[in-house]
Chain A
Amino acid sequence: MAEFLIRVVDKRTPTGYWQHGPTGWEHVDENRDADDMFIDHATTHKRGDVIHAAPDGWPWGSDELISPFWRIIKVPGLELLEAQAMVAREIAEDPTNPPRTLQRRAFRLDIDHPSLPAAFREYLQDDTRASAAYTLSINRAAFRVLKKARLPIPDPAVIGGPTNVIG
């Protein structure tokens, strides 16, 4: 069994953030004077990001057990190595010239997947954390369905980037 500390609320920098909408990346402009919105978006953990993947019985900290922006999820039968792959960083296509928008996580867990039970969704929505952790009884194949690769964020400094980015 492996245990995960997962973000359920996007951490957002004060300079605005980007989200992936139906037509591609969309900027939610909370600060008109913001710069490098793409980079800010790439540098913070988002919903579904695994903060830590741990072996069974991990001694979670007091803040980890109660924080409203995290949840602890236990997955019986999942090998630790496979779990730890969820904390890998996005890898640059050209390691000698990495973009500024490399994301902190290459993968996220699709915790909104329709296959997940209602009780799990209720646990995710319960900010009071009545239960310290939730045990998700899925097999490896089902876990891999939930494992999603994060979409690369285009570097606005690169020619050919989005036309709606000044500079």
Chain B
Amino acid sequence: MGVVTKTIGTSSRNYSTMQAWEDALPANLVTDGNSQVGECYNDSQFTGVVNFSGSVVDATNNVTLTAASGQSFQDNVNVRTARLAYNTSNGVHINLTSTGLTLFTRGYDHIVIKRLQVKYTTNYERIIDENGINRTNCIIQDCIFAVRGYLGKMTSGKMRNVLAYSTFTQFSLTTDYAGTNTTFLENCTFVTPSNITPLGSIIGANSGAPSARNCALFGCLTVQNFKNLFTGNNNACEQNINFGTSNQSSVTYANQFEQSSTASNLEDFRLKTGSNCIDTGATLTLATDISNTSRSGSWDIGAWETTAAPTSFPPVSVGMKMPFLAM
């Protein structure tokens, strides 16, 4: 099995849009015998949607849409010191401004989307939608989503190391499948910023058996909707978490993030010192955080993993007596 990699961008790339790359995919990746990778370049802002449909795939002949090496916010040299938020200066970014669009419509299985930033500035539009169809092994990982309110509807798959926050109204994500779906939310940070009035639940399932683990869920009146279908563990919220174990329930929202308000466009969803999310997560599968920093020891809850500050030693001059060297 091989991998066919194509470049996407507006500066001498293979394709100028993500949709063109998707349309050019073979109808049958299994007989073609290759996985397909689309690498986005930060040549200019992406503005279009991607409808994945019409291809036959399997676990070893799959599709990945990502940012090319060095092009993602994750690759930014200041990734650990810059604000953790949507920022066009930090890497590949998608800005959707038209109504009636869903950014990613996943019409088949085995699709991986990672290392991208997306901002959606129209009202109540969706980043993700599977139109009620169960999808196998679809993963969204290491992404930043800034949405008006509604992230969208997943019917299955994994979302890992995703920071998603709203800019206008209550943030929400829905999982939905008429059966037993397996939507996994792991080390995600979902936030209604502190300057926006919470209106309801932050995650919700209409059906199925979704799971949330190591997720920071802030800015809501209740964690999940009335159907109470979520299971999981090691989540954090300022409200009572009514499912799972080892949670950080009813903690103080103001103590969690460096800057939880979007009022001044200076939001920063890195964990602040003293956050209840630090070292209270479980050890899961993906051992890096949204900045591609290794998680070690006791994991943090949410997309960001704090790291210990390096130990600093006083400068030493030649000939200086040091107490521990005193004779």
Contacts and interface: CB of A to CB of B under 8 A. Distances in A.
B24 A44 contact: no
Interface of A: 5, 7, 11-15, 40, 43-45, 51-52, 54, 58-64, 67, 69-70, 84, 87-89, 98, 100, 102, 104
A104 B53 contact: yes
* Most chain A CB atoms below 10 A, which of B8, B17, B51: B17
B48 interface: yes
B79 interface: no
B16 A14 contact: no
Interface string B48-89: 100101111000000000000000000000000000000000
B17 A12 contact: no
B54 A43 contact: yes
Contacts of A15: 56
Given A62-B12, A63-B14, A67-B24, A40 B54 contact: yes
Interface string B28-63: 100100000000000000001001011110000000
Contacts of B20: 5, 51-52, 61, 63-64, 70
A62 B23 contact: no
B110 to A, nearest CB: 15
B198 interface: no
A12 B28 CA distance: 9
A129 B10 CA distance: 21
A75 B96 CA distance: 25
Nearest to A54: B16
Q: Which A-B residue pairs are the 9 nearest by beta carbons?
A: A44-B54, A43-B53, A43-B54, A61-B15, A63-B14, A14-B28, A59-B10, A61-B16, A52-B17
A155 B187 CA distance: 39
Instruction: Give chain B's interface residue range (CB within 8 Å of chain A).
Output: 20 to 34
Interface string B94-136: 0000101000000100000000000000000000000101000
Nearest to B30: A14
Contact of A64 (B15, B54, B98): B15
B54 A59 contact: no
A18 B44 CA distance: 38
Nearest to B56: A14
13 contacts: A5-B20, A44-B54, A45-B54, A52-B48, A58-B10, A59-B11, A60-B16, A61-B15, A61-B20, A63-B24, A87-B19, A100-B133, A104-B53
A11 B56 CA distance: 12
A51 B56 CA distance: 20
A54 B10 CA distance: 12
A61 B8 contact: yes
Nearest to A67: B24
A118 to B, nearest CB: 28
B221 to A, nearest CB: 25
B23 A45 contact: yes
Given A59-B10, A63-B6, A43 B107 contact: yes
A84 B10 CA distance: 18
A52 B56 contact: no
Given A52-B17, A59-B16, A89 B24 contact: no
Contact of B131 (A11, A12, A58, A98): A98
Contacts of A61: 7-9, 12-16, 20
Contact of B27 (A44, A58, A88, A100): A44
Contact of B14 (A40, A58, A62, A87): A62
A15 B28 CA distance: 10
Contacts of B13: 61-62
Given A44-B27, A59-B10, A11 B54 contact: yes
Given A59-B11, A59-B16, A12 B27 contact: yes
